[in-house]
Amino acid sequence: MKNFCTILALGLALGLTARAADVTLSDVHICCGSCVKGVNAAVATVTGLTAKVDQDEGTVVLTADDTATLQKGVDALTTAGFFGKSSDPAIKVNADTGAKNQKMQTLTISGLHLCCGKCVKAVNQILSGVPGVTGNTAAKGVKSFDVTGDFNDKDVFDALQKAGLTGQEK
């Protein structure tokens, strides 16, 4: 009986420490089924991670056994061009874009999620609101595109991230 109680107590202790953890990313740009597929494809590269994508709410809930795996999932999403706000302060969303906070006439952005015409339309609307931006070459499925005008590179990325998208200065 003593051994049984010890084993039971040990099992309960291990069960409590093996609880799944989750993090919700909100304000993510998810405009269509292809965006949902893009999120799922990005997180599929992380072993031990599951994702629940809510297109209507613009949220992605990641679940894993530990915070390190959750962080890898969030990193995979930003690498795939998605951006959002983390519900857990311990899980950081990488906002580093390589922007130098300087005036530019041409900026090449790579890695931004552009799966469909709605994504391109969103990028066009976002960039039209950035002071000094006069044009861009964003198109469905491109790996990189140019932004032109007389603008601050950081302003461009701040606007994109506020709208749930991210990329890298190339």
CATH architecture of 103-169: 2-Layer Sandwich (3.30)
43: helix, coil or strand? helix
CA distance 58 to 14: 35
24 bridge partner residues: 61
What does the pLDDT look like over 101-110, one tens digit per residue?
Answer: 999 999 999 9
What does the pLDDT look like over 2-61, one tens digit per residue?
Answer: 554 444 344 444 444 456 899 999 999 999 999 999 999 999 999 999 999 999 999 999
DSSP state of 46: S
**17-86 to CATH, choices 3.40.50.11890, 3.30.70.100, 1.10.3720.10, 3.30.420.40:** 3.30.70.100
pTM: 0.88
The answer to whether the 17-86 and 103-169 domains have the same CATH topology is yes
Name the helix (H) or strand (E) containing 4: helix 2-17
